[in-house]
Amino acid sequence: MKPFTYERAKTPADAAAAVMRKPGAKFLAGGTNLLDLMKLEIETPTHLVDVQDLKLDRIEATADGGLRIGALVTNTQAAADERVRRDYGVLTRAIVAGASGQLRNKATTAGNLLQRTRCTYFYDTNMPCNKRKPGSGCSALGGVSRQLGIIGTSDSCIATYPGDMAVAMRVLDATVETVNPQGQARAIPIADFHRLWGDTPHIETALQPGELITAVTLPKPLGGTQIYRKVRDRASYAFALVSVAAVIQPDGTGRFSVGGIAPRPWRVDAADQALQQGSAAASAALLAGARPTEDNKFKTTLVERTLAGVLADSRGMRNAA
């Protein structure tokens, strides 16, 4: 790990200003992903601004009937909250499908959104990677790409956003709230938060330098049957090959987003519209324009089958209710 200085900020605006003040500075929340990357010298911050004292660790009701989840609410805390479990079941399901108990106790809501890809070439500092070292090339193209993206990727990078939580937030139409170093607040729809990176895969989100996430807001509850189904190489503690977050209404209409296949949780309006026609039509609409590799073309079929399972589950749960 490279040496760094460390400070604790007192307010969100102070934290943003502190990161802006020192070149090479970064925010530190739970640290479960950042410290891992610092040990490998993939991340080499010169200064860390610890945000744990910012009092962003509460979940509150919003005026329009939704919930505001503070940036520093841990994954465990968010998943266990009675309101989240009752009204946003897909979010609790997605969070507890990710990582391990130890990691969920430390990882935060904001940090989870900002976790980096688990592409093995991004992690291997001996290999070219446009995301880790812009312009060095992409080892995954023509390399081992079973775990990687099939849509929304580019000729520079075929990595995926690896998380589960954001896939549920995407289906719920969450909003990411931020503050910048000048103290100005802004709200970013989750749909625009993770970039389709094109030829700049090292820029992964819509955040500006020094901009700090303060909360994630959920709109008022959607009702319906809420399901998160994750397909992975083992039954626990593994990243998704494909995951589906869905909210299905009693009349069979609904919405879904898919994880494990793209630089961001993948959701397409036309695919939501096609849900009533079944999983084949909906997944075809979702994956229009997909460019899988030889290694990961199985994900195309896996999306359709996982969605078919989700729709069957939703019918079963409705009939049981």
The residue from 68, 93, 132, 264 that contacts another protein (CB under 8 A) is 93
Would you count residue 182 as binding another protein (CB under 8 A)?
no
Count residues contacting another protein (CB under 8 A)?
37
Would you count residue 6 as binding another protein (CB under 8 A)?
yes
Would you count residue 97 as binding another protein (CB under 8 A)?
yes
User: Which residues 235-254 are close enough to bind another protein by CB under 8 A?
Assistant: 235-237
Q: Which is nearer to another protein, 116 or 264 (CB)?
A: 116
Q: How far apart are CA 216 and CA 42, in angstroms?
A: 27
Part in contact with another protein (CB under 8 A); list of ranges 64-72, 87-95, 129-137, 206-214: 87-95
Residue of 305, 298, 295 lying closest to 158 (CA atoms): 295
What is the token pair recorded at 197? 């990176």
Would you count residue 69 as binding another protein (CB under 8 A)?
no
Q: How far apart are CA 282 and CA 255, in angstroms?
A: 10
> Cβ 248 to another protein, closest distance in Å?
16
Helix, coil or strand: residue 315: helix
The residue from 48, 54, 247, 311 that contacts another protein (CB under 8 A) is 48
Q: How far apart are CA 252 and CA 296, in angstroms?
A: 30
CA 220 to chain centre: 21
- Residues comprising the chain, all counted: 321
Would you count residue 31 as binding another protein (CB under 8 A)?
yes
Q: Which is nearer to another protein, 17 or 38 (CB)?
A: 38
x/- mask, another protein, residues 216-235, rule CB under 8 A, reads: -------------------x
Would you count residue 73 as binding another protein (CB under 8 A)?
no
Q: For the chain, what is the total number of helices (H) and then of strands (E)?
A: 13, 11
R_g of the chain computed on alpha carbons: 19
List the beta bridge partners of residue 189: 175
Residue of 48, 54, 42, 4 lying closest to 26 (CA atoms): 48
Would you count residue 99 as binding another protein (CB under 8 A)?
yes
Q: How far apart are CA 23 and CA 41, in angstroms?
A: 17
Would you count residue 118 as binding another protein (CB under 8 A)?
no
Q: In this structure, what DSSP letter does residue 28 have?
A: E
Q: Which is nearer to another protein, 186 or 318 (CB)?
A: 318
Part in contact with another protein (CB under 8 A); list of ranges 12-20, 95-103, 128-136, 298-306: 95-103
Q: How far apart are CA 268 and CA 173, in angstroms?
A: 12
Q: How far apart are CA 118 and CA 240, in angstroms?
A: 11
> Cβ 74 to another protein, closest distance in Å?
8
Backbone angles phi, psi at 123, to 5 degrees: -80, -20
Q: How far apart are CA 136 and CA 34, in angstroms?
A: 22
Would you count residue 316 as binding another protein (CB under 8 A)?
no
Would you count residue 173 as binding another protein (CB under 8 A)?
no
Part in contact with another protein (CB under 8 A); list of ranges 65-73, 81-89, 140-148, 249-257: 81-89
Would you count residue 310 as binding another protein (CB under 8 A)?
no
The residue from 11, 20, 35, 305 that contacts another protein (CB under 8 A) is 35
E-strand ranges in 51-140 read: 59-61, 67-70
Name the residue with tokens 């001996």: 126
Contacting positions for another protein (CB under 8 A): 1-6, 24, 28, 31-32, 35-36, 39, 46, 48, 50, 52, 76, 79-80, 85-86, 89, 92-93, 96-97, 99-103, 105-106, 235-237
